[in-house]
């Protein structure tokens, strides 16, 4: 059988993972084009709104691995597959197996709208169901199934909810209660994904994060929980490729 090809829109790094369960991890990023969602505040809309179409290359797992090596040489041992929604790719196991074979760890983030069997082989899997401010609707049956399968296999995974406002916070609380016991992260939203002045953006991100910290600290419903910013946006603003 011919190797599968994947719609790669960006490969970059090494850089630090700026958010979620592996925050701070030195990692390469492989960003896949295509998404089943259209979040109002998506910070990577070029992966699905047509604006990045010319950048998409159909690459095999071996071609992706070769490009990672050519960019980063021997300075990396961890890869984050991002999107878009990489769970749209049924054959991604080919890339995961190839990287694992070279001793490389693989993290992946998806909204949890689609199950793939290769979820069971991801080293750090983040499920990030989207709150009301995104304009998307969560399919709870699908998410229940995904969380159930990962829990049954005792996989290393977490839930992460981005929070922009009080309605989102309520969504985070009910998600945390529904999946009690699953490591849970809330993340302050970036309301200025087009702001190019990095110091203005930093002020906005800091105050949004402080707001979220205060909400969570006062809550009796959110106790065994982590509250994080997007570190990469604090450092590099809205620039792509960091």
User: Site residues (CB under 8 A) for a copy of itself?
Assistant: 13-16, 22-26, 73-78, 105, 185, 206, 209-210, 213, 216-220, 222-229, 231, 234-235
Report in angstroms how near the CB of residue 176 gets to a copy of itself at its nearest: 12
Q: How near is the Cβ of 170 to a copy of itself at its closest, in Å?
A: 17
The token pair at 191 is 């309301």
CB of 219 to a copy of itself, least distance (A): 6
Smallest distance from a copy of itself to CB 72, Å = 9
Q: How far apart are CA 116 and CA 123, in angstroms?
A: 15
Q: In the complex with a copy of itself, which residue's Cβ is closer, 57 or 232?
A: 232
Under 8 Å between Cβ of 53 and 38: no
Residue 5's Cβ-side half-sphere holds a number of Cα atoms within 13 Å equal to 7
Shorter beta-carbon distance to a copy of itself: residue 114 or 235: 235
Neighbours of 22 (CB within 10 A): 21
Q: Which residues of 105-138 are buried (b: 16+ CB within 10 A; e: fewer)?
A: bbbbbbbbbbebebbebbbbbbbbbbbebbebeb
The count of residues in the chain is 242
Regarding beta strands 57-59 and 6-16, do their DSSP bridges make them parallel or antiparallel, or are they unpaired?
antiparallel
Nearer to a copy of itself, 40 or 75 (CB): 75
List, in order, residues 6 or more apart from 207 with CB less than 8 Å away.
Answer: none
- Of 84 and 123, which has the nearer Cβ to a copy of itself? 123
How far apart are CB 202 and a copy of itself at their closest, in Å?
Answer: 8
Q: Which is nearer to a copy of itself, 142 or 225 (CB)?
A: 225
CB closer to a copy of itself, 11 vs 228:
228
Query: Which contacts qualify for 192-195: CB closer than 8 Å, 24 or more apart?
Result: 192/238, 193/41, 193/42, 193/43, 193/238, 194/238, 195/237, 195/238
In the DSSP assignment, the letter for residue 80 is: E
Nearest alpha-carbon partner for 112 in 87, 82, 79? 87
CA distance 233 to 204: 11
Provide the token pair at 86: 């990489």
Please report how close the Cβ of residue 185 comes to a copy of itself at its closest, in angstroms.
Answer: 7
Please say which residue, 58 or 210, places its beta carbon nearer to a copy of itself. 210
């Amino acid at each position: 059988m011919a190797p599968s090809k994947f719609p790669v829109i960006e490969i970059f790094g090494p850089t630090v993972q700026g958010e979620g369960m592996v925050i701070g991890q030195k990692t390469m990023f492989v960003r896949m084009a295509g998404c089943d969602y259209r979040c109002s505040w998506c910070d990577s809309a070029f992966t699905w709104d047509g604006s990045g179409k010319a950048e998409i290359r159909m690459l095999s797992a071996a071609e992706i691995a070769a490009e990672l090596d050519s960019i980063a040489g021997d300075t990396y041992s961890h890869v984050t597959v991002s999107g878009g929604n990489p769970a749209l790719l049924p054959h991604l196991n080919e890339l995961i197996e190839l990287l694992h074979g070279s001793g490389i760890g693989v993290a992946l983030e998806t909204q949890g709208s689609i199950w793939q069997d290769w979820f069971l082989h991801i080293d750090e899997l983040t499920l990030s169901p989207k709150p009301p401010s995104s304009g998307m609707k969560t399919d709870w049956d699908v998410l229940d199934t995904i969380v159930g399968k990962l829990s049954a296999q005792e996989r290393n995974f977490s839930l992460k909810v981005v929070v922009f406002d009080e309605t989102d916070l309520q969504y985070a609380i009910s998600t945390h209660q529904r999946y009690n016991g699953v490591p849970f992260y809330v993340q302050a939203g970036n309301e200025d994904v087009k702001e190019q002045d990095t110091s203005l953006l930093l002020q906005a991100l800091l105050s949004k994060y402080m707001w979220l910290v205060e909400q969570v600290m006062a809550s009796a419903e959110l106790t065994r929980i982590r509250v994080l910013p997007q570190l990469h946006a604090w450092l590099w603003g809205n620039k792509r490729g960091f």
